[in-house]
Copies of this chain bind each other. A is one copy, B any other.
Amino acid sequence: MTLDSHIHARILIACKDQPGIVAKISTTLFSLGANITESAQHTTNPLEGTFFMRIAFYIPRIESVKEVIQDAFAPLIKQFSMQFQLFLEEERKRFAIFVSREDHCLLELLWRQRSGEIQADISMIVSNHPNHEQIAQQMNVPYYYIPVTPEKKLQSERQQLQLLVGKVDFIVLARYMQILSPQMVEQFPRRMINIHHSFLPAFVGAKPYERAYERGVKIIGATAHYVTADLDAGPIIEQDVLRIDHGYSVKEMKAVGRQIERTVLARAVRWHVEDRILVHDNKTIVFT
């Protein structure tokens, strides 16, 4: 087996759990000459639960490989009423980064993408501030400065949508401090990732570090989640925390918080790019 003669693909499956699913799926893959490299599954409930599976595999490079795989699975998809998604690693995803004034999450994503840890292309950076233009230029990424004011918010979103349409597969809100309209969010269901600078569901909304300071918590955190119409209530992808103590000012909490924010967001983006995330009942199944 060589990389040239083979394609690396991934399928994501969701359906009602019932005996024999894994047998049928793996037999189908075997019939296609696939060589499984990763396989993970999850059932929400031993009885009448929902079944989720992610399989990554090498398959001989043939013409119309996607159609061939899709056709082979067609009977199963019908029989089990499967939600079935197929991805080829060589069809790289493209994403836009939305960012406001703070650049730590932006820089982290640019760096991880350049180092090959995030295997996707950054199509553009969109910001309501002009000040990241230089770094965008250095990285050869188009930079769009679109100011946002309460009055012309929808107009700004229309501008953003025009830039995005057909150009991106998903969006990362990398400390973008504007609340998007439900209409905007609807355009990217399960394809818009936000980093919230608190350990959700604690401190939903504005100024989480200030409120964490006020409450006197001993641990602060960050949460990456898919954006839904409800503020900070979408499916959580990843969270992490750091210990603090009584000696931390709000400013110091923000400084250490930045480290968690960028780490958590980078992990979530990577998992999204590698098709490791399924969503069910406003919760994520993450096959790491």
Contact = CB atoms under 8 A, between A and B. Distances in A.
Contact of A217 (B46, B201, B247): B201
A114 to B, nearest CB: 9
Given A22-B26, A39-B22, A247-B42, A215 B201 contact: yes
Contact of A39 (B41, B255, B281): B41
A282 interface: yes
Q: How many monomers of this protein are in the complex?
A: 4
For the residues of A in contact with B, the DSSP-based class is mixed
A276 B135 CA distance: 33
Given A201-B203, A217-B236, A282-B216, A33 B47 contact: no
6 smallest CB-CB distances across A and B, nearest first, come from A216-B283, A23-B26, A202-B202, A23-B30, A22-B26, A23-B27
9 contacts: A19-B35, A22-B30, A22-B39, A37-B43, A117-B255, A201-B202, A216-B235, A219-B221, A219-B239
Given A23-B29, A23-B30, A26-B26, 18 more contacts: A19-B35, A22-B22, A23-B27, A27-B27, A39-B41, A107-B111, A138-B138, A199-B202, A201-B217, A215-B236, A216-B283, A218-B237, A218-B239, A219-B239, A219-B240, A245-B288, A246-B283, A259-B263
